[in-house]
């Protein structure tokens, strides 16, 4: 055993090995701690707990580094496309031209969804949040493709399920938006590339064909890449834990969508725009909201600020801030919300509270502003985050299955009542 820590408990010494990752990150391997000592570890919110080893994404929160399969997020966001990054995450290497074409063609044949999905969609109230619709449509795939439920899935069947979910997700996402607007759904057009096809299904109206615009398609590719994976975050851990019960890919990803929806996670992008609108309506009184965010007795938090892992800056936020300027300028959009966001960021970054707690803008702070400029309404922002995170969830689910990871099942420390006798209802 090379490196180890020694635990001294009730006079007994137990050696715990240190596991070192390929970037020299160290972890204490506690897998034998219970059998040797009877103890478990307690770490609410898993702030110090590694749940797995993974070859997909590396991030260093102190240095602001994010890499997928070894490639930096800066390079991927500026040089790659979303489908190429999806291939990289899922299959481990950048594809050559032929591999990428095959991959895109495999996805393309799955963009159409069964007509019965329209009946499911019709059942929703028109103001249903698209995230709820999306997660249930993804789970519903199991009803249409029951073979996907087989826990002993062949590699071929897994690959088909992956292509199918990548193909149908944009169709479902666009249809959930159409449902909310009460507009007729638009069917996929497989002559178009992945992102252009989605944009058309989102924005085309029978009365008005959608005009493709490379500024919008490029911005969408970039935004999706920036959200594509982020190692063991809340939704990804959810996908892995659901998948560890040998649940199929569709319900596992549907569970991830639900975890992402919360405002502390992917729902923050919608919450940021709502917060900025609230500040605008309140006379742009930034100081008032900074004060509220610092007040322990006020539940208000500065949305789009802070991150569990990044403690200096979020590299995705840097790229998005630049992209927001660029996209708004190219589209000729003059949104005062961007100026407000920049002012708020500047004031917060100079404030001792935010400095001391290492709270910086995260990926969600500026993403909503770009999505708004591209024509997306706030309730679609988190759907767009889910769309981007899809290849990450798929790759993490696949890795977990291929590594035959055990059932995810944490323990607890019980703090409730001790054993007591049942009292008959008439005597209580």
Q: Which stretch binds ligand CMC (CB under 6 A): 27-35, 181-189, 263-271, 393-401?
A: 263-271
Binding mask 374-403 for ligand CMC (x = CB under 6 A): ------------------------------
CB of 56 to ligand CMC, least distance (A): 15
Give the C-alpha separation, 390 to 401, whole Å: 17
For residue 20, list its beta bridge partners: 26
Q: Which of 200, 230, 321, 372 binds ligand CMC (CB under 6 A)?
A: 230
Residue among 309, 306, 255, 300 at smallest CA distance from 282: 300
168, 110 in Cβ contact below 8 A? yes
Give the C-alpha separation, 17 to 13, whole Å: 13
Give the C-alpha separation, 291 to 153, whole Å: 54
- Residue number with CB closer to ligand CMC (184 or 410): 410
- Residue number with CB closer to ligand CMC (163 or 320): 320
Residue among 34, 82, 132 at smallest CA distance from 387: 82
E strand or H helix that includes residue 212? none
Q: Which residues contact 36 (CB under 8 A, 6 or more apart)?
A: 12, 14
- Restricted to residues 294-353, the positions that interact with ligand CMC (CB under 6 A) are 301-308
Give the C-alpha separation, 405 to 168, whole Å: 28
Residues with a catalytic annotation lie at 307, 364
E strand or H helix that includes residue 15? strand 12-20
Q: Which of 57, 140, 221, 233 binds ligand CMC (CB under 6 A)?
A: 233
How far is residue 134 from each of residues 126, 201, 251, 272, 325, measured CA to CA in Å?
Answer: 14, 15, 12, 22, 30
Q: Which of 114, 129, 265, 342 binds ligand CMC (CB under 6 A)?
A: 265
133, 179 in Cβ contact below 8 A? yes
273, 344 in Cβ contact below 8 A? no
CB of 234 to ligand CMC, least distance (A): 7
- C-alpha dihedral (254, 259, 263, 268), degrees to nearest 10: -70
- Restricted to residues 268-287, the positions that interact with ligand CMC (CB under 6 A) are 268
Q: Which stretch binds ligand CMC (CB under 6 A): 102-110, 172-180, 264-272, 397-405?
A: 264-272
Q: Which stretch binds ligand CMC (CB under 6 A): 35-43, 261-269, 281-289, 376-384?
A: 261-269
319, 224 in Cβ contact below 8 A? no
Size of the site for ligand CMC (CB under 6 A): 21
For residue 411, list its beta bridge partners: none
- Residue number with CB closer to ligand CMC (57 or 233): 233
- Residue number with CB closer to ligand CMC (94 or 349): 349
Give the C-alpha separation, 11 to 49, whole Å: 26
CB of 305 to ligand CMC, least distance (A): 4
Q: Which stretch binds ligand CMC (CB under 6 A): 6-14, 74-82, 97-105, 362-370?
A: 362-370
Question: Which stretches does DSSP call E strand in 281-422?
Answer: none
- Residue number with CB closer to ligand CMC (293 or 337): 293
Residue 364 engages ligand CMC in binding (rule: CB under 6 A): yes
Binding mask 30-49 for ligand CMC (x = CB under 6 A): ---------------x----
Q: Which stretch binds ligand CMC (CB under 6 A): 55-63, 114-122, 170-178, 259-267?
A: 259-267
Residues within the interface to ligand CMC (CB under 6 A): 45, 230, 233, 264-266, 268, 293, 301-308, 357, 359, 362-364
């Amino acid at each position: 055993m090379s490196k180890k820590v020694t635990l001294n408990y009730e006079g007994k010494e137990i050696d715990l090995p240190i596991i070192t990752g390929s970037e020299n990150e160290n972890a204490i391997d506690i897998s034998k701690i219970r059998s040797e000592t009877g103890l478990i570890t307690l770490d609410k919110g898993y702030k110090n707990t590694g749940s797995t080893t993974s070859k997909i994404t590396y991030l260093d929160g102190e240095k602001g580094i994010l890499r997928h399969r070894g490639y930096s997020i800066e390079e991927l966001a500026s040089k790659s496309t979303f489908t190429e990054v999806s291939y990289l995450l899922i299959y481990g290497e950048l594809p050559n031209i032929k591999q990428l074409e095959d991959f895109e063609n495999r996805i393309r044949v799955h963009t159409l969804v069964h007509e019965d999905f329209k009946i499911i969609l019709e059942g929703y109230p028109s103001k249903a949040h698209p995230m709820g619709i999306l997660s249930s449509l993804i789970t519903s795939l199991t009803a249409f493709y029951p073979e996907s439920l087989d826990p002993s899935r062949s590699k071929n069947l897994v690959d088909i399920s992956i292509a199918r979910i990548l193909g149908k997700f944009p169709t479902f996402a666009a249809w959930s938006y159409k449902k909310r607007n009460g507009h007729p759904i638009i069917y996929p057009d497989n002559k178009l590339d992945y992102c252009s096809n989605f944009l058309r299904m989102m924005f085309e109206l029978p009365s008005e064909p959608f005009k493709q615009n490379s500024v919008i398609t490029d911005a969408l590719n970039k935004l999706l890449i920036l959200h594509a994976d982020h190692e063991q975050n809340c939704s990804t851990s959810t996908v892995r834990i659901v998948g560890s019960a040998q649940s199929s890919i569709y319900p596992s990803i549907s569970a991830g969508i639900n975890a992402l929806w919360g405002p502390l996670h992917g729902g923050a992008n919608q919450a940021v725009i709502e917060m900025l609108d609230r500040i605008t309506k309140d006379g742009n009184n930034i100081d008032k909201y900074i004060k509220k965010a610092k007040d322990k007795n006020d539940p208000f938090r500065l949305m789009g600020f802070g991150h569990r892992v990044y403690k200096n800056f979020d590299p995705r936020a840097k790229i998005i801030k630049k992209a927001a300027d660029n996209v708004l300028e190219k589209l000729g959009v003059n949104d005062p919300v961007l100026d407000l966001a920049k002012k708020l960021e500047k004031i917060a970054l100079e404030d001792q509270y935010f400095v001391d707690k290492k709270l910086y803008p995260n990926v969600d702070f500026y993403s909503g502003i770009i999505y708004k400029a591209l024509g997306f309404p706030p309730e679609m922002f988190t759907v767009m985050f889910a769309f981007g995170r899809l290849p990450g969830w798929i790759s993490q689910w696949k890795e977990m299955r291929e590594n035959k990871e055990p059932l995810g099942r944490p323990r607890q420390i019980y703090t409730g009542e001790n054993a007591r006798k049942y009292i008959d209802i008439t005597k209580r």
